[in-house]
């Protein structure tokens, strides 16, 4: 057919001219068939009447503008309709009142088109809350308020959309399409709570709680990287606090209690998903360091001839590192220098009395000497003989381990005016190796050292002389001890 407006040939079924865009009225169409049947004179005159270039040019712009205006009006009407459709819900969201939002949202039930528009608004709101939570720095608020910092922030900025006293929030308006996004928001909220708890716990030096809370910060949380760094700090501080307590335990000689603390620390950190290999290495390093420190203390004590302290410290080192052969060797060495207390009756092999008169020998007493000095760990004896024969002997096994025997001979204060005297003799493997001076009235306590190097069996014979019939004086030796001499 031919367009009446511009004379262009177009498809018979067209509603608009493909050249000028003018609408086509069926009764004005001139088909090719018609053109073949019209008389020649009509054919010559038809184009003049039907198609005029001047007329086509003048109508075409107006028609295009009209068409564009129609399209814009339709689009504008659609946009206005869409904006109007969601404005009530958006206004409700602006109030931060979850109940009001639900009231508006629920009115759209049954209107799928409107619900879809509402769901888009809800989805956008959820995302805005997530972005807001992740952009806010809670550190300063968390120091004083802990987890309440997150609750307060959400309540102040989003009303009851996420938190409320009665528990009502935006969840009642979350469709299945938005459920995943809402779950992510709730997870982020929980993560922020854990982060803020951790910040507050760390400020309170509650390392265990801080580690536990920081470990629950999710990877979607903007504070995730910071939480991981803080975990590292807390682990170091936590181990430091544990080690301080371990020190106190060990100082109280509770070594097993100290080791239990270390093992409990490792278990705790493992339970929180921390690198157990790293923690184990730290504990091993700590055990080595602790053992080394106590071994050094043992060496220092030994150089001061304090063998008890040396053995005590090296035993701590051995307990911390039982497989260390050097510590075992040192322990055996220190043991050789332990004193052998002859005043301890348990170390005496046997006692015998000699002569026709009764003798007396007692172990580990505290008495006062004739100079009023308190004499500890004393062997006390008396002899009621009138001559110089011993009344009692004591035997010991030195087993060749000791170099010297030392002690202090004294007259008891209660007998300071006696007319008698007392002394003792020492035999090493049956040979007399020492005879003491005599303790008597006016004689001050006498210190002595006896060389017993290589002696296996030791005998001490105790002597005493009566001054008169009624005089039975008592004598004593304080701190009678066999020792191995310390190296220079």
Query: What is the reported pLDDT for 71?
Result: 64
Contacts 24+ apart (CB under 8 A), 172-178: 172/98, 172/102, 172/105, 173/98, 173/101, 173/102, 173/105, 173/118, 173/122, 174/122, 174/126, 175/115, 175/119, 175/122, 177/119, 177/123, 178/119, 178/122, 178/123, 178/126
Which residue in the block uniquely carries the two structure tokens 């006896």? 450
For domain 340-483, give its CATH number from 3.30.470.20, 2.60.120.1060, 3.40.50.970, 3.30.1330.60. Answer: 2.60.120.1060
Which residue in the block uniquely carries the two structure tokens 């097993």? 256
Query: What is the reported pLDDT for 273?
Result: 73
Instruction: Tell me how far apart the alpha carbons of residues 167 and 188 are, in angstroms, rounded to a whole number.
Output: 17
Structure tokens at 191: 């993560």
Contact 136, 189 (CB under 8 A): no
Contact 439, 475 (CB under 8 A): yes
Query: What is the reported pLDDT for 448?
Result: 97
Instruction: Tell me how far apart the alpha carbons of residues 443 and 24 are, in angstroms, rounded to a whole number.
Output: 152
Query: What is the reported pLDDT for 384?
Result: 57
Which residue in the block uniquely carries the two structure tokens 């004393």? 378
Query: What is the reported pLDDT for 154?
Result: 96
Q: Which residues contact 319 (CB under 8 A, 6 or more apart)?
A: 255, 256, 259
Map residue 238 onto helix, strand or coil.
helix
Helical H segments across 96-178, by residue range = 98-106, 112-135, 139-145, 148-158
pTM beyond 0.85? no
Query: What is the reported pLDDT for 236?
Result: 84
Query: What is the reported pLDDT for 479?
Result: 97
Instruction: Tell me how far apart the alpha carbons of residues 216 and 193 are, in angstroms, rounded to a whole number.
Output: 10
For the chain, what's the residue count?
A: 488
The full set of domain ranges for the chain reads: 340-483
> How far is residue 359 CA from its own chain's centroid?
68
Query: What is the reported pLDDT for 55?
Result: 46
- pLDDT by residue for the chain (488 residues), tens only, comes to 778 777 777 777 777 777 776 777 655 444 444 444 444 444 444 444 444 444 445 556 666 776 666 666 656 545 554 556 789 999 999 999 999 999 999 999 999 999 999 999 999 999 999 999 999 999 999 999 999 999 999 999 999 999 999 889 999 999 999 999 999 999 999 999 999 999 999 999 999 899 989 999 999 999 999 999 999 899 888 888 888 888 888 778 787 788 788 888 888 878 777 766 766 777 788 788 889 999 999 999 999 999 999 999 999 999 889 999 999 999 999 999 999 999 999 999 999 876 545 567 899 999 999 999 999 999 999 865 655 666 789 999 999 999 999 999 999 999 999 988 899 999 999 999 999 999 999 999 999 999 999 999 999 999 888 766 667 789 999 999 999 999 87
Compute the chain's Rg from CA coordinates: 54
Which residues, in sequence order, are bridge partners of residue 392? Answer: 353, 462
Contacts 24+ apart (CB under 8 A), 319-327: 319/255, 319/256, 319/259, 320/255, 320/259, 320/287, 320/290, 320/291, 320/294, 321/287, 321/288, 321/291, 324/291, 326/295, 327/291, 327/295
Instruction: Tell me how far apart the alpha carbons of residues 195 and 189 are, in angstroms, rounded to a whole number.
Output: 10
Instruction: Tell me how far apart the alpha carbons of residues 344 and 481 are, in angstroms, rounded to a whole number.
Output: 9
Instruction: Tell me how far apart the alpha carbons of residues 485 and 488 are, in angstroms, rounded to a whole number.
Output: 9
Q: What single DSSP character describes residue 16? A: B
Neighbour tally for 429: CB within 10 Å: 14
Structure tokens at 300: 């220092």
Give first-to-last CA distance, the chain, whole Å.
131
CA distances from 475 to 341, 351, 360, 361 (A): 19, 17, 10, 10
Contact 129, 184 (CB under 8 A): no
CA distances from 464 to 35, 361, 381, 392, 408 (A): 169, 12, 8, 10, 16
Q: Which of 422, 424, 418, 421 is nearest to 470 (CA)?
A: 418
Q: For 329, how many CA atoms within 13 A lie in the half-sphere containing its CB?
A: 3
């Amino acid at each position: 057919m031919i367009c009446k407006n511009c004379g262009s040939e177009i498809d018979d079924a067209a509603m608009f001219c493909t050249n000028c865009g003018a609408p086509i009225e069926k009764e004005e169409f001139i088909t090719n068939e018609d053109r073949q049947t019209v008389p020649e004179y009509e054919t010559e005159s038809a184009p003049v009447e039907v198609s005029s270039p001047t007329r086509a040019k003048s109508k075409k712009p107006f028609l295009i503008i009209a068409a564009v205006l129609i399209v814009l009006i339709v689009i504008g009407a659609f946009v206005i309709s869409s904006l109007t459709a969601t404005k009530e819900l958006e206004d409700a969201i602006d109030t931060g009142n979850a109940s009001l939002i639900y009231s508006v949202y629920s009115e759209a039930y049954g209107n799928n088109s409107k619900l879809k528009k509402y769901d888009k608004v809800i989805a956008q709101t959820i995302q805005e809350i997530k972005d807001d939570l992740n952009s806010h720095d809670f550190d300063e608020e968390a120091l004083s308020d802990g987890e309440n910092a997150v609750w307060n922030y959400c309540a102040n900025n989003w009303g009851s959309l996420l938190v409320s006293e009665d528990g009502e929030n935006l969840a009642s308006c979350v469709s299945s399409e938005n459920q995943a996004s809402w779950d992510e928001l709730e997870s982020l909220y929980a993560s922020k709570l854990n982060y803020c708890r951790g910040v507050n716990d760390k400020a309170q030096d509650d390392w265990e709680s801080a580690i536990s809370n920081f470990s629950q910060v999710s990877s979607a949380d903007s504070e995730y990287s910071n939480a991981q760094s803080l975990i590292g700090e807390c682990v170091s501080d936590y181990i430091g606090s544990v080690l301080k307590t371990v020190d106190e335990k060990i100082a109280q000689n509770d070594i097993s209690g100290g080791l239990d603390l270390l093992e409990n620390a490792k278990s705790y950190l493992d339970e929180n998903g921390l690198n157990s290999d790293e923690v184990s290495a730290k504990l091993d390093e700590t055990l080595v360091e602790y053992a080394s420190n106590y071994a050094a203390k043992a060496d220092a004590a030994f150089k001061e001839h304090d063998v008890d302290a040396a053995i005590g410290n090296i035993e701590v080192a051995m307990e911390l590192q039982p497989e260390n052969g050097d510590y075992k060797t040192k322990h055996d060495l220190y043991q050789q220098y332990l004193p052998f207390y002859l005043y301890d009756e348990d170390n005496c092999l046997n006692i015998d009395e000699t002569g026709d008169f009764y003798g007396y020998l007692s172990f580990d007493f505290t008495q006062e000497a004739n100079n009023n000095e308190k004499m500890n760990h004393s062997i006390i004896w008396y002899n009621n003989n009138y001559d110089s024969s011993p009344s009692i002997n004591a035997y010991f096994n030195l087993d060749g381990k000791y170099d010297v025997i030392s002690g202090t001979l004294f007259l008891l204060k209660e007998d300071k005016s006696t007319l008698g005297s007392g002394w003792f003799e020492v035999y090493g493997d049956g040979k007399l190796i020492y005879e003491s001076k005599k303790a008597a009235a006016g004689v001050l306590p006498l210190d002595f050292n006896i060389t017993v190097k290589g002696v296996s069996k030791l005998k001490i014979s105790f002597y005493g002389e009566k001054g008169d019939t009624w005089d039975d004086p008592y004598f004593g030796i304080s701190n009678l001890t066999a020792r191995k001499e310390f190296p220079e």
